[in-house]
Amino acid sequence: MTQKLITLLFLIIPFYSTQATEIKGFEPDYAGKILTFNTYVDPITKTEKKVFSIRIDSKGYFSTNINIDKNTFCFSNFDVYRGMLILEPEGELHIQLPAYRAKTFVEEKNPYFKPLEVWIKVDSPDENELNKLASGFELRFNQLTDKYFNQLYFRQSKTILELVEDTLKEEFGRYENPFFKDQMKFKLLILEYEAGRVNQEKILSGVDIQTSTFSIPSFIDLTDRVYSNKLVFETNSINGRELQKAVSNGNLPFIIKYFHEKYQTGTLLTDFIVLKLLHDAFFSGKFPTTPILNIVTSQHYTGNPNKGIRLFAGMVKQKLLHLMPGTLAPVICLKNMGGIQKCSNESAKYKYLVFADLEIKVDREQLKYLTVLDKKYKGQLQLFIVLSNEYTDRVTRFLLENKIPGEIVSDTTKRYANEYRVKSFPTCFLLGRNHEVILAPAKSPLDGFEHQFGAFLKNEFFKQRKRSAIKPND
């Protein structure tokens, strides 16, 4: 009996030894709202995954628990803000949200609106609390760089730069939290990079990184500033012809050697940089896509000794293939005005997906022109319209009065708009009879889709006739 009890306690204790991190607060101005905090799966594609949500009750109180096993940077886009927070295992955070301010109509409809980044305030007496350190450092960093803006960025004064760096190190250098030390280190490198003190190409030369480094916010920020779209720049340079040839031929050893020597970075960091460069190059439209995809899926990356690099390569591959011509597009299932669920794969015709916002005048005119397309291609093309609006009286009246054709569904949460990576309205796609991607994006109704689809059908007709002509006789 005693032995059984000891065994039972041994099995139970581990569950009680790991305590959840608690997040709580009181925000009456946010009553009734739900805030979802995400983190990045990887720092290259920036694919997001949910960490936790807080549901604020009618009085403004909220509390939730989350189990984590490492420091986790997360963020939430709400109203005009991007609120940032660092969770620590077994922590307790009493958070204070920034003063409530809703987006204006213009901000809401602007596809290029960028939220104001703020560190969420944590009410804690502990000066070593990670969020207090990060937000305190950010505040002081901004104060000093604003004060000496001209001397730092226009005159590029070495003396002032060292003054700012020394001041920050004196005030925050005593804190030993590894996550904060990395955050501070890469933030100071951003300052050196933008102030032009160091050779920008070698900003990370000799910097030692670990897998955990990839989740540091300032590291992600720095690598975005330094390396975004750099492959396009390099191949357009005087000596870029050989590099262009290497990318086109999928010659990964040459590419790695080229950037290892140019940036003087270690193996892990060079692998990361090259993967990021290839990701950006794929979407630049300046390079053939197949060799880049072959490199990303090569043994060098899929079998890389670093688990972080393997994960990142997998995420990059997934993004490169997403909505690539020939791949299957995500099926959209939403309710129409009658409350009946309609799916985009129900028709055997070609599908023309139109994501639209009826609060935008241009979108209303685009939808009106669908009557012309419907009349011309009714037997060959299904129109599938995904609205970002609710079925208000105004929306319903517009659709009925203008006899807008096709299946019309509502995506108020923008779930499918996000899945199709829609950045602005209208955005359109042409899918095949089996829901495979043909054009991503396609032209909008008023911008030439009628002729684009006609040319596509003509091309398909000639390809079919050619196939029939060379088909052997029975």
| Domains within the chain, CATH numbers bracketed | 19-123 (2.60.40), 138-321 (no CATH), 333-463 (3.40.30.10)
pLDDT number for residue 206 = 85
Instruction: Retrieve residue 190's tokens.
Output: 């951003």
Instruction: Retrieve residue 3's tokens.
Output: 């032995």
Distance (Å, whole) CA 418 – CA 423: 8
pLDDT number for residue 245 = 94
pTM of the predicted model as reported, rounded to 2 decimal places: 0.86
Q: What angle do CA 398, 404, 409 make, to 5 degrees?
A: 85
Question: Residue 453 — very low, low, confident or very high, per pLDDT cuts 50/70/90?
Answer: very high
pLDDT tens digits, one per residue of 43-52: 999 999 999 9
Residue 4 confidence (pLDDT) above 70:
no
In sign, the C-alpha dihedral spanning 103, 107, 112, 115 is negative
Mean pLDDT across 73-91: 93
Mean pLDDT across 144-155: 94
Distance (Å, whole) CA 57 – CA 79: 18
Distance (Å, whole) CA 456 – CA 353: 16
How many other C-beta atoms lie within 10 A of the C-beta of residue 457?
Answer: 13
pLDDT number for residue 2 = 47
How many other C-beta atoms lie within 10 A of the C-beta of residue 97?
Answer: 23
pLDDT number for residue 460 = 87
Strand, helix or coil for residue 219: helix
Q: What angle do CA 196, 199, 202 make, to 5 degrees?
A: 130
Kindly state the DSSP code that residue 240 receives in the 8-state scheme: -
